[in-house]
Structure 1
């Protein structure tokens, strides 16, 4: 099982009414949430750790997880409100304004998170923790997810997608420290080219940037570049690239999250989701995962909002 740890929120998406006025439609979302439902729809065994409200939006999030076959037994429920993200679009690219103060998601504490290996079945099935998104920005949730990673990093694959939202970061130094702590134990880091520039600067070429991000670790780094596809870098110096399919883009909401779901689902399908297997992954296996990921993401961007495909959508 892959357990996705982080935010689940409501995207307030602008729509034009019949009268020509803009109104907002509440849609389930959040980077980690989107990846969780993407994995469930692709047939992967997946669960989610997140703070979910008991309010009407929290129920909407919970029901969407269940519908997409995500294990909800690790959720932390509370009466605090749901995080809202108001979305605006600029040439199809989404920008977000977050309302997160004292929310159920932000208030998650490590002591509230269930033991992920409480049963013998769980101990045998837990293969990876996936973290990132805005849940690593604000306390106490941010440190709680970092502590969770440290708790399981010795024998569990750690996957990070920071998914930088610069306008939401209040303390850059603390945020960078938290990210660095996860980077040091991560087995896979996925970043967009924009994330990479923010993390290490844009003064070097991409290969050099990846080296600066990885440091002395053997982490696999995957860089997504929108319409220009994605490149995966191994610590050996080998790399593979996959172009993105040519599709009519409606918007990019959830594109990277859906890519992550496709990439991880293919890693699992190839029986590679373990530290030992990832250490000897072949370029052919890696390319297969990239190819699957960009194809899955292409379906999402051809739809409105974050709407990862079901596995049946790939078979038609």
Structure 2
């Protein structure tokens, strides 16, 4: 495989319950949505996930293949394909319940052509896969940029006190972190989300004993329809989101994350050899990348389910 991104985490079926009582099934999963976004933006991407050899698994595999996402070897070893039940409110926001299992395929690893490894959400905390993710990411720092989105799911992660340590450990290992203001509000109640993100960039996530490189080079805080704030060594950038007619928010943050990785790739800021250049990223580059990210997310929220745009739609 030539230069590519390895995404490590859950792919599943979203069973979506809408306010009008209708129910529909869509393939999804936070990390799968990021991989799908990268594939639709024309990037080579491999997904290490945990699917069953069943009808729902076939649906997910076809969905990924249609957008050019390759499955890592061993990703079909689950007894059954996992399901997330998403209940939408009148504003299109989703709350979740889960029936899932997760582990990292034994064959999954970053190689010399792996520019970046992305992980987060359920995959980074649900055992036995959570420990396996941290081992893979620790090893991958030798070859690849590490990107991370906590994408908190309290139903699975438990209390904020329980989740904070594992999340901060991965922040310590990451070069790029994308996090929502809602997630930071949950993790650090009473603290301003932007101030919490500044702490992540400066310290690598707190008191973690895992090796850090003086904190992530870039921390991006998404603020829903208000846009996003990026924090980096050169300062901070605030980018507003374009107006969008919201159908639902399923997959919006994941499509933003995929576009963030794509933008850093576009500016030749991925890969271990470019780690120093990433730490020296300029405000001009950050602004250009984030403007593309909010545009991608705006298209996603205007459509049902996790359905990010293709590259040609953004021309």
TM-score (norm 1): 0.88
CA RMSD of aligned residues (A): 1.9
Query: 1:25 and 1:171 mapped to 2: Cα distance?
Result: 30
Q: CA deviation at 1:154?
A: 2.8
Query: 1:211 and 1:79 mapped to 2: Cα distance?
Result: 39
Please name the residue that 1:297 is paired with.
Answer: 297
String of CA shifts for 1:4-26, please: whole Å, max 9, x gaps. 1111010001358xxx8x35322
String of CA shifts for 1:205-264, please: whole Å, max 9, x gaps. 34422232334224111000011100100034x011110001111111111001111111
8 Å CA contact 1:92, 1:252 repeated in 2: yes
Partner SS, residue 155 of structure 1: coil
Query: 1:11 and 1:4 mapped to 2: Cα distance?
Result: 19
Equivalent residue pairs, number: 297
Please name the residue that 2:207 is paired with.
Answer: none
Query: 1:234 and 1:61 mapped to 2: Cα distance?
Result: 36
In structure 1, runs of 5+ residues without a counterpart are 118-122
String of CA shifts for 1:64-109, please: whole Å, max 9, x gaps. 1111101213452125111111111112101111112xx3xx1x25
8 Å CA contact 1:193, 1:224 repeated in 2: yes
Please name the residue that 1:306 is paired with.
Answer: 306
Query: 1:26 and 1:189 mapped to 2: Cα distance?
Result: 30
Query: 1:52 and 1:145 mapped to 2: Cα distance?
Result: 16
Partner SS, residue 150 of structure 1: helix
Partner SS, residue 77 of structure 1: coil
8 Å CA contact 2:150, 2:167 repeated in 1: yes
- Range that drifts further, 249-258 or 216-225: 216-225
TM-score (norm 2): 0.89
Please name the residue that 1:45 is paired with.
Answer: 44
Please name the residue that 1:287 is paired with.
Answer: 287
Name the CA shift for 1:283/1:209 in 2 (closer, same or farther; >3 Å): same
